[in-house]
């Protein structure tokens, strides 16, 4: 549990949850304030655990396999199309606030990743 918000908690270690399936997923590029440094993050709903999730920065994306590996070493499997889930939106909004990220620093790129997966499937 988190002292700031008891409904937000740390995820299980990668050793116990190496691969995570995300439904109603979205992708965002974050640009640090006053920085050229950009990171890609995924957010979505983890149906098996009944919780929203935000990934650490994505280091590798495979549109054929529909997987993304985060800097923590976790692999995310993108299930179905992009979408919205209230739990994922809730966690995402708290993640942005906790990391001091404003709207000007965020660009949604979900449709770009969705297009890449569709083109790879052809």
104 assigned to some structural domain: yes
Residue 6 in any domain: the answer is no
The torsion angles phi and psi of 4, rounded to 5 degrees, stand at: -70, -40
Please indicate, yes or no, if residue 84 is contained in any of the structural domains. yes
**What's the domain range around 88?**
19-121
Q: Does residue 3 lie in a domain region?
A: no
- What is d(CA 6, CA 102) in angstroms, rounded to the nearest whole number? 23
Per-residue pLDDT at 53: 95
**pTM for this model (two decimals):** 0.85
Least confident of 47-51, 60-64, 73-77: 47-51
Q: What is the pLDDT of residues 12-51, one digit of tens each?
A: 667 677 799 999 999 999 987 666 789 999 999 999 989 9
Task: Give a yes or no: residue 69 inside a domain.
Answer: yes
The domain tally of the chain equals: 1
| Domain presence at residue 108 | yes
pLDDT tens track for 92-114: 999 999 888 888 899 999 999 99
The answer to whether residue 99 is domain-embedded is yes
Does some domain include residue 93?
yes
CA distance 51 to 82: 17
Q: How far apart are CA 109 and CA 122, in angstroms?
A: 21
């Amino acid at each position: 549990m988190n002292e700031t918000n008891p409904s937000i908690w740390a995820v299980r270690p990668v050793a116990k949850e190496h691969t995570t399936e995300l439904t109603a997923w979205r992708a965002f590029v974050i640009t640090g304030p006053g920085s050229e440094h950009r990171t890609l993050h995924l957010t979505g709903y983890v149906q098996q655990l009944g919780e929203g999730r935000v990934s650490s920065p994505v280091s590798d994306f495979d549109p054929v396999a529909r997987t993304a590996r985060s800097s923590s070493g976790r692999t995310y499997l993108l299930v179905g199309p992009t979408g919205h889930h209230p739990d994922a939106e809730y966690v995402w909004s708290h993640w942005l606030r906790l990391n001091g990220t404003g709207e000007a620093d965020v660009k949604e790129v979900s449709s770009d990743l969705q297009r890449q997966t569709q083109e790879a499937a052809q």
